[in-house]
Amino acid sequence: MSLSLDDKLLGEKVDNYCSSDEGERDDDSGDEPRSTEAVQPTFVPEPEIKEYNGYSTNTGPKGVINDWREFKRLETEKKGEQERERQALLKKLSITCRSHLDDEREKQKDEQFMEKMEREMDEIEEEFMKQYREKRIEEMRKALQNVPKFGGVVPLSSNDFVDEIDKENPQVYIIVHVYEDRSKACKTMNGCLVNLAQEYPTVKFCKIRATETKLSMKFAKDGVPALLIYKGGDMIGNFIRISDELGDDFFSSDVESILEEHSFLPNNDVINKCIKDKTTGEKRSVLAEDDDTDSDFDID
């Protein structure tokens, strides 16, 4: 039987009704002892937070708004990347896609530039070569002023032989002919040296008898004609009994060839060809094609 509201307020009991006090008394009167151990709490692990993979299972209002914002952000980034790629492609195409007319114009500009550079280089080279020639001519003229001129064959004796060699300008080539009067080849050599002395005025050509040099009789008989070449006080070359190569009859050009072959003669183009134009007075050097007997230039 259930209690009415009034009974509950008045504290009436009915059958099968158990108050809370009775229950407590029943528990206290029980024979079984109660456990004194504290109940341990059960560990509940925290849920694992997974990385956002582009969609959300949260269907609440806030979740939907966050998903929308994330979507718009990704969409904006993608559009920005596409725009950058498009701009890069346009730039590349604008550089590579030139018309044939543009190529021809660019090629023409390059050719005009190269022609201009070549003209300027030619002008610079011409001016440089002009200044260089003038400088070399002036150097040769000064060198000629310091080098003594001879123009003939100098006879030597045993008394002045050493001084004529040691006291001479160190830049001068000295060619000494050791001879004997009885030798036909020696007479021919003396005549050739006279011609060479006129052609090479800066070379000192000399002659001395073999007996004057106090050499042996064997040398005076079998070693002549002999040419001894000195420079700076030192002997730099010699030709003993040169008639074995030239014979008894030869020309000055033959002797000249032998001396030039061994670099015992100075270069005439450097020493003797420093000239001046009669009309303009301009200093210049003679080139190979200017070697002409009808030239309008004189040795200065």
Residue-wise pLDDT tens digits, 229-253: 999 999 999 999 999 999 999 999 9
DSSP 152: S
Q: Is the pLDDT of residue 277 over 60?
A: no
Residue of 274 and 122 predicted with greater confidence? 122
Write the CB contacts of 30 (distance below 8 Å, at least 6 apart in sequence): none
Q: Is 298 a residue whose pLDDT tops 60?
A: no
C-beta contacts of 256-265 below 8 A and 24+ residues apart: 256/196, 256/199, 259/175, 259/227, 259/229, 262/237, 264/173, 264/175, 264/229, 264/236, 264/237, 265/173, 265/200, 265/203
Q: 215 phi and psi, to 5 degrees?
A: -85, 170
Give pTM, 2 decimals.
Answer: 0.47
CB 175 within 8 A of CB 227: yes
Top-ranked range on mean pLDDT: pick from 7-16, 52-61, 151-160, 269-278: 151-160
The 10s digit of each residue's pLDDT in 139-197 is 877 766 777 889 899 999 988 999 999 999 888 999 999 999 889 999 999 999 999 99
Mean pLDDT, residues 13-31: 53
- Give residue 36's pLDDT band: very low, low, confident or very high (50, 70, 90): low
Asked if residue 27 has pLDDT above 90, the reply is no
Q: Which pLDDT does position 300 carry in this prediction?
A: 38
The answer to whether 175 and 150 are in contact (CB under 8 A) is: no
Q: Which amino acid is at 300?
A: D
Percent residues over pLDDT 90 in the chain: 27
CATH architecture of 153-265: 3-Layer(aba) Sandwich (3.40)
- Tens digit of pLDDT for each residue in 94-139? 655 556 777 788 888 888 888 888 888 888 888 888 888 888 888 8
d(CA 156, CA 189): 16
Rounded mean pLDDT, 269-277:
52
Domain ranges of the chain: 153-265, 267-300
Three-state SS for 238? Answer: strand
- Give the span between the Cα atoms of 225 and 240, in whole angstroms: 7
pLDDT at 260: 92
Residue % of the chain over a pLDDT of 70: 64
Task: Tell me the torsion sign for CA atoms 79, 83, 84, 89.
Answer: positive
**Mean pLDDT, the chain, whole residue set:** 76
What pLDDT sits at residue 294? 42
